[in-house]
Structure 1
Amino acid sequence: MTASNRIVLSSDHAAIQLRQAIAAHVAAQGWVVVDIGPATPESTPYPKHGEAAARLVASGDCRFGIIFCGTGQGIMMAANKVKGIRCGVCADTFSARMIRQHNDANMLSLGARVVGEGLALDIVDAFLTAEFEGGRHATRVEMIEALEG
């Protein structure tokens, strides 16, 4: 098993149901899902879940990560603090495709209180099927990486 077919999913308490639906969806497409929870609905802080997923992507253990909270914003901010992570919040398929094609994003963040399950499935598909275009975009990604210090 290689990281190329592994995807990590994590959320806070507000997004467990959507995370589980996405996990089943991507597993049906052949991805090996590393679902790091949580499993129960007690309140839990999104920063620790965003960081945990981001570390699995940054280490190379997983190719991609999909993270969830109420808006997708807070958990994305936490994930982006991990060196090597380029995560964007998307509420539409165009943005999901573009963060892969132009920014070589390795993580996607979704807001469970923002997008419904059907749209979330489409966003995930757009993200996972898009390929980084390289070229002039590679130079910009290198500029982003240089900001990490």
Structure 2
Amino acid sequence: MSKSELNMADNPDALNSKLFELATAAMNRAYVPYSRFPVGAAIEAHSGEIYAGCNVENAAYPEGTCAEAGAIAAMVMGGDTQIKHIYVMGKGDLLVTPCGGCRQKIREFSRADTEIHICDEKGVRKTLTMEALLPFSFGPDNLV
């Protein structure tokens, strides 16, 4: 879904609200029968397209997927490869930040100034840049 389809190209507050809503909806659809810890993610790609994902657990625990990985997979399937913003939504008193593996996955498709918004059901609790979330990271530019 694009920003123009959402009629939000000139309204960043409406876009942020929509990304927050999509992350919430994704969290509410998570498949978490084992941990009972739902997480949702929503991405705005640099193209303006919007993607979402939720965590999906599996009885063979290492075979589950994180919400961020699901949203990134949807983004790549949609033809995009650059994250502009990502909203990560989870419940709890502590910040629900991306796990180490997801930080690296986000890094693959980000720039140092890409914004990662850490949310709970009430709103954005903290916004970090990719550089702050994963300092001194290894990425595609290291392989050039």
The structure with the greater share of residues assigned to strand is 2
TM-score (norm 1): 0.36
TM-score (norm 2): 0.37
The structure with the greater share of residues assigned to helix is 1
Q: Which has the higher contact order (CA 8 A, sep 6+)?
A: 1
